[in-house]
A = this chain, B = another copy of it.
Amino acid sequence: MSSTEQEDVRQEIRRGRPRSEAVERSIIEAVVNLLEEGAPLTEISIERIARTAGVGKATIYRRWKGKEELLCDVMKAIEPVDPPLPGTSVRDDLVAMLESLRQRGLAQRSSALLHNVFAQMKSSPKLWDVYHDTVVVARREMGRELIARGVAEGAIRADVPIDVLNDILVGPMLLRTVMRPDAELPEDLSERLVDLALQGLKPQL
């Protein structure tokens, strides 16, 4: 199901030969393969995708309006699902949330595929927007709920807007994974960042 027609759920009787799902899959798979070969986004032309997928160009344009829309669907196909939170304590859940970000960062470095998508997803504004609207916003919502729980439990101060608190927790890890692709990501990084955020940077007594 392409992103352009998601709203087509209404029971319009689709006439004529139905679109082949196999074709849809092979197109997305072709993009994934090209990405895995390390091809930069600019070199992944629609014509090459069609050739790789063994598909006509028109078949691609019938489903997506352009390369960007197609890539959005590809991204959705690759994007891993966030793991459930342990739920033992607010602090542990915060650590788990950051840990999933760290894992994603590691995945980017190990998998040629993810690396390519993320490193160059900065490419198109639309692609970035979709990523932002689906992944980022969803995760932010998760963070907000978590922090609200912490505030209610008295573990987190109540005199600061939740969004600011969220940024303070998520920002550092995101800075490391997205903007500093060369930085190390030690195993205990999530714990340290959460604890530092909670306790502050001032010397402890």
Contact = CB atoms under 8 A, between A and B. Distances in A.
A165 B122 contact: no
A174 B179 contact: yes
A119 interface: yes
Interface in A165-191: 165, 167-176, 178-180, 183, 189
Contacts of A178: 179
A201 B168 contact: yes
B40 A125 contact: yes
A196 B175 contact: no
Interface stretch (A5-13, A26-34, A153-161): A153-161
Q: Is the interface of A mostly helix, strand, loop or mixed?
A: helix
Among A128, A155, A168, A201: residue with most chain B CB under 10 A: A201
A50 interface: no
Interface in A113-172: 119-125, 128, 132, 136, 154-158, 160, 163-165, 167-172
Interface of A: 40, 42, 119-125, 128, 132, 136, 154-158, 160, 163-165, 167-176, 178-180, 183, 189, 192-193, 196-204
